Structure 1
């Protein structure tokens, strides 16, 4: 994939990314056990930072292009890149926690959207649709398919559920760096884009809004929110194109009831 500057991962590199991926999932599981009404988003940052360092890794977001924290924490109308701070989680909120760890030089990236306390109908709906979008996207990953097939599957499902897909942020190659080629849009047409081949490693991370797809960036130059203040949810995994299909390098259950 030299033409596209895509580095196909070899066996030892895949094993390194898998180990980083296990730490990412262990971190998300710890966060899930910790989330409750009354904590601040900065409390989540402290938890993630300390756990990452304790396990001999580094939090990739910290100081990345000036990002000041170790994890992105995005609540309700925040689409992505929420900077942890004094915002306190309330009963009924949804909160996305996006973890990227660097372990022994290898990067893995995953996120989940969690319920805080008891979710309402709208919260359940957008979280469910977002999770299903990731599932449909991963199902399209196999040699011979294209990146457009992934976006088509996600967009078709989301819009069929009367939700919208954020256009400005995309999935990306990962493994030896935080962001590598290729870009992986979460919308598109069948058969468009780069053909998938074994050894490609990238994230799929659809951002799904309950309202319109439009967004704006706050004055901190990081936090992206829905333009209409509707709820937004996201799920992400790092996946490997195998000889016969796909393997998640940050696997977690996408079939639990909501």
Structure 2
């Protein structure tokens, strides 16, 4: 069942999402060769708690950490560890926080030092596909319209679109209805309603769309061990249009990046 939110609830959710945004902005300064994902995880937990929130992933479905840290061929749900990041790696960092009894949840794939042109293009296309999907989250459209837009843009570049993992509704629980696949057919699925809040999150692979899971029960890998990218925003349907609850602005400020990609979706 879709749970529309009131204007007041959407504003509270925006506060939760911005805790995550600020956490990822802080982490952006720390992602470099030699740092371990476990070190980053500890910094994130401390930062979230210092900002009056609770880590949203820690203990959720028994997940053991604050961040999902997924380098290179790991798609999502990687568990932080003591292995140091290396020059040329990429690392997808998914973060959640609870504030005002609402969840914030979004993700960004970071470059570790200098990465190859092939991998850099994967990141650029995956992030662009996120915004292609967000554009379709509007009054009159359906779930399939978002998935179709993401799939079309990613597959146009020859990439694999993961099927087994999808975006989702979000609110007082991390995963609400509806599921938001990153593939689909236009005009299919549930129709969007005013006040909906969702997490849209393309997971796009450089090679095959197929994935596998490690014995740890969490980590998802590409079947061909080629790199994967993951970008995610929390979005609300306000006055029939998509409005971002989250932002990458804090990341861009930390990395010295200038971007206007979010402008059309801001409140």
How many equivalent pairs are there? 253
Specify which of 32, 53, 59 is matched with residue 55 of structure 2: 59
After superposition, what is the alpha-carbon deviation per residue over 1:162-219, rounded to whole angstroms, capped at 9, x for unaligned? 1010000100011211111110000000000011111000000000000000000001
Q: CA deviation at 1:88?
A: 1.2
**Corresponding residue for residue 234 of structure 1:** 230
1:96 aligns with 2:98: no
Moved over 3 A (4+): 253-257
The yes-or-no answer on 1:166 pairing with 2:162 is: yes
Q: CA RMSD in A?
A: 1.3
Q: Counterpart of 1:43?
A: 39
Matched residue, 2:145: 149
**Which residue in the other structure is 1:221 paired with?**
217
1:206 aligns with 2:217: no
Matches of 2:89 and 2:72, distance apart in 1 = 6
Equivalent residue in structure 2 for 1:186, among 142, 157, 182:
182
Unaligned runs of 5+ in 2: 253-257, 261-267
Return the alpha-carbon distance in structure 1 between the equivalents of residues 134 and 59 of structure 2. 30
SS at match of 1:34: coil
- Any conservation in 2 of the 1:143–1:242 contact (CA below 8 Å)? no
Residue in structure 2 matched with residue 31 of structure 1 by the alignment? 27
Question: Could you say which residue in structure 1 is the equivalent of 2:115?
Answer: 119
State the Cα distance separating 1:69 from its structure 2 match: 0.5
> TM-score, with normalisation over the residues of structure 2?
0.92
In 2, Cα distance between equivalents of 1:90 and 1:51: 24
- Deviation digits for residues 63-100 of structure 1 (CA, Å, limit 9, x no counterpart): 11111111101100000000001121000100011111
How far apart in 1 are the matches of 2:9 and 2:240?
A: 19
User: TM-score when scaled to structure 1?
Assistant: 0.95
Task: Write out per-residue CA displacement over residues 35-87 of structure 1, whole angstroms, 9 at most, x where no aligned residue.
Answer: 11000010110011010111111111111111111110110000000000112
The structural deviation recorded for 1:256 is 4.1
Gaps of 5+ in 1: none
